[in-house]
Structure 1
Amino acid sequence: MNTSTNDPAGKQRPVRTVIEATSAALWQELRNACDDALAQGHAFVAILHGAEAWADARWLTDEDRQRAARFRQDSDRHNFMLGRNLVHYLVRPRGITTPCTFSLGPHGKPFLLDAPAYNLSHSGRWVACVVSRTEPVGIDVETFARLSDYRELLGVIAHPAERRSIEQAPMEHRLALFKRCWTRKEAILKATGKGLVDDLQAIDVCLEQDEPVFDRPASLRLMQLSMPQEEATIALALSPSVSGVVVMRVDASR
């Protein structure tokens, strides 16, 4: 059971700033924008598309290299490396030249000691990272490339209120609502560090609200991040106290 409001008392919706970046100076541009955002009390989101060529194995530990070698698909290997690269360049202090050593939360969520909170997600050729000085924070990006029939999943993941919202919507809007439902739930679970759980039906992510704010399972605001292409759906969960969100999009596939 969870509750939400459009805006908590005394809180305004966070300001969103979207920056279109080039890939010529990818990591420098991302780090500068991230530092500026955090200095203003904002969260920072980096969204990479088609950036496989920027995957750099230098920041992998020996254990990471072994893990990367086990991926059968090149795309999964690249996404794993890009995730490590984003953490290295955005979350760690500048100038560090050794790979990351991660700590794990009680539910296995990785974090860096004495560093901002962060979360990663990837799907297809998309990789996203959110960084915030205020916890909790979670992000989910999905292309749903392997989704056959979303209706088969409604009974597994949807709260009764969510199911009604989807089934009563015009036919042309139902798939988009399902994608919103899925990514919002993933973002919440990643923010709380619990990952996938068996009681997804107990969570109502308030599909009819643009930016719902929740008291449980944690104090969270949900946001959808729109993309120029419709192939990816991205949801963000962050503390309601965060005053703004800066999004930098990098399409290296062009």
Structure 2
Amino acid sequence: MVLLTEDIWSFNLDAAWQEISGQRREYALKYRTELDRRLCVRAYLLLCEGLRKGYGITSVPLFEFGKYGKPMLVGYPDIHFSISHCPEAVICVLDDNPVGVDIELVSSFDEQVARYAMNQEELRQIKSSSRPDVEFACLWTRKEAVLKQSGFGLSDNVKEVLTAHPLPVETFISRNLHYVYSICRADCNL
């Protein structure tokens, strides 16, 4: 199940504080800006919505964390999820198999950052694209989704992620070209 929303500013944050777990509230309050707090809370609310709709779970979820920090649901080891957000949207993916998702704003192409994160073939792909900024965002979200699905996070060699971990990834570009997201699932049924 994929849940995506651009509703960052119109939901009632004051009411939402009462709907989320103390664990998530404490985590969200560590953010300094209202935008970051809203994104954190909105992502959690999407997870709650997905658990209700897909699994009939109405209790507020608590997290435990894997070796590299991947969150898992306490008491529900067979339900996998991944959440991500950028300033314009929040996404949550739930599945019966390990899953990873990443969403990023499309921003101006920075060749120095690309050289750090991309291998030679990916750099060629970006430079030959009519929209290097969008192509970079697509590749970056694909890499992060794979790393989140595997549970390794960015601790892996980011340049070789897609070749070292050949997992199925589907990438989507928003209609307005403002953001890109990628979903990686362990199974091949995207």
Q: Same fold (TM over 0.5)?
A: yes
Match of 2:10 in 1: 53
Question: Residue in 2 aligned with 1:73?
Answer: 33
Aligned to 1:111, the other structure's residue is in SS state strand
1:162 is aligned to 122
Report if aligned partners of 1:183, 1:235 keep a CA contact under 8 Å in 2. Answer: yes
Whether 1:200 and 2:158 are equivalent positions in the alignment is yes
Cα shift at 1:80: 0.8
Q: Could you say which residue in structure 2 is the equivalent of 1:224?
A: 171
User: Does residue 143 of structure 1 match 2:111?
Assistant: no
Q: Distance in 1 between matches of 2:93 and 2:69?
A: 18
Q: TM-score, structure 1 length as denominator?
A: 0.65
1:181 to 133, 136, 139: 139
Distance 2:162 2:62 in 1: 35
Work out the CA distance in 2 between the residues paired with 1:197 and 1:102: 21
Shift of residue 62, structure 1, vs aligned partner = 2.6
Deviations 1:88-135 (A, max 9, x none): 2212653634x3221222221111132521100000020001111122
- The count of residues paired between Structure 1 and Structure 2 equals 183
Partners of 2:48 and 2:109 lie apart in 1 by 38
The Cα offsets for residues 186-232 of structure 1, whole Å up to 9 and x where unpaired, read as: 11111111111252122346xxxxxxxxxx43x62011123222101
Rounded Cα–Cα distance in structure 1 between residues aligned with 2:85 and 2:136: 19
Letter in 1 for 2:188: S
| Identity between Structure 1 and Structure 2 (%) | 22
Larger Rg: 1
Supply the distance in 1 between the matched residues of 2:86 and 2:137 (Cα, whole angstroms): 13
Give the match for residue 104 of structure 1: 65
Q: What is the one-letter code of the residue matched to 1:91?
A: L
Q: Go from structure 1 to structure 2 and tell me whether the alpha carbon gap of 1:228 and 1:52 turns closer, same or farther (over 3 Å shift).
A: same
Matches within 5 A, 1:119-138: 119-135=82-98, 137-138=99-100
CA RMSD of aligned residues (A): 2.2
Contact 1:159 1:203 in 2 (8 A): no
Q: Which residue of 1 aligns with 2:42?
A: 82
Q: Give the Cα separation in 2 of the matches to 1:91 and 1:106.
A: 24
Give 1:173 deviation, angstroms. Answer: 2.7
Structure 2 residue 169 is matched with structure 1 residue 240: no
The answer as to whether partners of 1:91 and 1:118 remain within 8 angstroms in 2 is no
CA distance in 1: counterparts of 2:135 and 2:24, whole angstroms:
36
Q: Which has the higher contact order (CA 8 A, sep 6+)?
A: 1
Could you tell me how far apart the structure 2 residues matched to 1:69 and 1:190 are? 24
- Give the gaps of 5 or more residues in structure 2: none
Contact 2:134–2:177 (Cα < 8 Å) also in 1: no
Q: Measure the CA separation in 2 of the matches of 1:165 and 1:68.
A: 37
Q: What amino acid is the match of 1:68?
A: A
| Alpha carbons 2:138, 2:182 under 8 Å: kept | yes
